[in-house]
Amino acid sequence: MLAIDFPGSRRLIDTLDCAVRKECQTTITDALRLGLCRLMQSGEIELPECVYQAAADHYARRELYNSEELGYSVMAMTWGPGQGTLIHDHCGMWCVEGVWHGQIEVSPYELVEQKDDLFRFESRGTMIAGTGSAGSLIPPHEYHTIRNPSDDAIAVSLHIYRGPMNSCSVFRRVDGDWHARDQRQLALDRIDGKLPGA
The pLDDT of residue 190 is: 84
pLDDT in tens, 103-130: 999 999 999 999 999 999 999 999 999 9
CATH class of 9-47+59-185: mainly beta
Please give the model's pTM, rounded to 2 decimal places: 0.92
Confidence at 4, pLDDT banded by 50, 70, 90: confident
Starting from the edge strand earliest in sequence, which strands make up the sheet with 155-161, in order?
A: 60-66, 73-79, 155-161, 95-101, 134-137
Q: Where are the domains of the chain?
A: 9-47+59-185
